[in-house]
């Protein structure tokens, strides 16, 4: 979270809040599951 926050110039807590919201929205249990779901929905291209 620190690296993400540093790159986006936001706090670690803000990163965590956003990740929690995204994971809840996608009903994902971890970051990997969230990425896979986002790709399947067409929200993210790899």
Q: Tokens for 10, please give them.
A: 């936001």
**How much is the average pLDDT of 26-38?**
95
Q: Tokens for 15, please give them.
A: 């990163």
DSSP code at position 29: S
The answer to whether domain 2-40 has CATH 3.40.50.620 is no
- Give the pLDDT band (50/70/90) at residue 14: very high
Residue 46 has pLDDT above 90, yes or no: no
Residue 15 has pLDDT above 90, yes or no: yes
| CA–CA dist 11, 22 (Å, integer) | 17
The answer to whether residues 10 and 21 touch, using CB atoms and an 8 Å cutoff, is no
Residue 38 has pLDDT above 90, yes or no: yes
| CA–CA dist 45, 14 (Å, integer) | 24
Average pLDDT, the chain: 96
Q: Beta-carbon neighbour count of residue 34 at 10 Å?
A: 20
């Amino acid at each position: 979270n620190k690296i993400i926050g540093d790159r986006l110039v936001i706090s670690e807590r803000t990163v965590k809040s956003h990740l929690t919201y995204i994971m809840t929205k996608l009903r994902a249990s971890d970051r990997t599951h969230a990425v896979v779901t986002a790709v399947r929905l067409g929200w993210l291209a790899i």
